[in-house]
Amino acid sequence: MKVAMYYNNHDIRLQEMPVPDIGDKEILLKVMSSGICGSDIMEWYRIKKAPLVLGHEVAGVVHKTGKKVKSFKKGDRIFVTHHVPCDSCSYCRDGNETACHTLKTTNFHPGGFSQYIRVPEINVKKGTLRLPKGMTFDEGTFVEPVACVVRGQRVANVRKGHVVAVLGSGMTGLLHIQLAKAKGATVVATDVSEYRLKMAKKMGADYVIDAREDVPSKIKELAGKLADRVIVSTGAMPAIKQAFSCLDAGGTILFFAPTDPGADVPLPFNDIWFKSASIVTTYAAARCDLTEAIKLIKTKKIKVKPMVTHRLPLAQTQKGFELVMSGAASVKVIIEPHK
């Protein structure tokens, strides 16, 4: 089979690998659509394990099942998540499934930018879901990122009537905008890209602000107050620093994306203390979030089709990475391994 082998962000090669063998309790998935995630282009994180096949936002068809797999059959249209928790450790029992040590060690083989992947037993049991009738494979690639957004807004307790500032209107920022609107919030979105600000407005943001402006003042002018919730969906340091001054008293900041390694974030401690503010972070998603994500996509409460700007064959995965890295005129880039 063909795979897109990652060596670094500017060196992704179309190579041949054997189709993976599967065990009695495993599935062989024929990958139909695989999304490029913002985390895929975090070279500082990925290059340590290179060469490898990336891609974790996948949807496809069950091509083969192990003889002990009873819950799925050949031809089933499915979504598979790469990370799954154990559901039994202290973190899982406390509702912090994404802090689970097992979750950080699970994956499928070799990766989503390939024609076929082996789905291990634990992923079959805990991270494989059927796509509803009518849901496309492209929509299926959004299940994992939407689930991460669902978890983030649940932890941050985004509610009806809140003013929500979404700092960074890339792919996950646009999902945050839609979910916050679905919850009944007033949403203010920021970015430095005019293209992304237009997309933010298209996806439902009530107001958009160039991030280079005096954002806190503009939020107050447009929404009548500072933000009850600030969602930082970028690792850019200016946005991280800006978050604290955008937050109203009693509010919560959700840091949804990491910085580059070694970055120190200055903390205006007294301001946070006097505001009785909260700071939360989230990473990844669990099965309950994935199930909710499928419902949101199926019911069109979150519209993902308009976010797909590029579909590329496996041989053009390098071009896909360049599009995502540029951030200029792309939102969601999807690789189609069998095209």
| Domain over 2-142+304-336 is classified CATH 3.90.180.10 | yes
Give the chain's largest Cα–Cα span: 63
> What pLDDT, on the 0 to 100 scale, is given for residue 327?
78
- Chain position carrying tokens 């879901």: 129
Q: What is the mean pLDDT of residues 26-49?
A: 96
Instruction: Read off φ and ψ for residue 333, nearest 5 degrees.
Output: -105, 125
Q: Would you list the DSSP string of 27-90?
A: EEEEEEEEEPPGGGG-HHHHGGG-SB----EEEEEEEEE-TT--S--TT-EEEE-S----SSSH
Inform me whether the pLDDT recorded for 272 exceeds 90: yes
How much is the average pLDDT of 172-183? 98
pLDDT (0 to 100) of residue 328: 76
Angle of helix 171-182 relative to helix 194-202, nearest 10 degrees, comes to: 30
Share of the chain above pLDDT 70, in %: 100
User: 50-78: buried (b, 16+ CB within 10 Å) or exposed (e) per residue?
Assistant: eeebbbbbbbbebbbbbeebeebeeebbb
The architecture (CATH level 2) of 148-281 comes to: 3-Layer(aba) Sandwich (3.40)
**Mean pLDDT in residue range 101-116:** 97
* Interatomic CA distance for residues 270 and 273, integer angstroms: 5
DSSP-assigned beta bridge partners for residue 229? 164, 252
- Please, where in the chain does CATH 3.90.180.10 lie? 2-142+304-336
Residues in the chain, how many? Answer: 339
Concatenating the DSSP letter of every residue in 164-233 gives EEEE--SHHHHHHHHHHHHTT-EEEEEES-HHHHHHHHHTT-SEEEETTS-HHHHHHHHHSS-EEEEEE-
Taking the complete model, does pTM exceed 0.85, yes or no? yes
Instruction: Give residue 211's pLDDT.
Output: 98
For residue 336, the surrounding DSSP H or E stretch is strand 332-336
Q: What is the mean pLDDT of residues 99-123?
A: 97
- Per-chain mean pLDDT for the chain: 97
Query: Which tokens sit at 134?
Result: 């009518």
Judged on CB neighbours under 10 Å (0-12, 13-18, 19+), 184 is exposed
Does 133 score more than 90 pLDDT? yes
Q: Where in the chain is the domain with CATH 3.40.50.720?
A: 148-281
The pLDDT, as a whole number, for residue 117 is 98
Residue pLDDT, tens place only, 191-218: 999 999 999 999 999 999 999 999 999 9
Other Cβ atoms less than 10 A from the Cβ of 327: the count is 17
pLDDT band at 230 (very low <50, low <70, confident <90, very high): very high
The kind and range of the H/E element at 121 are helix 121-126
| pLDDT band with cut points at 50, 70 and 90 for residue 47 | very high
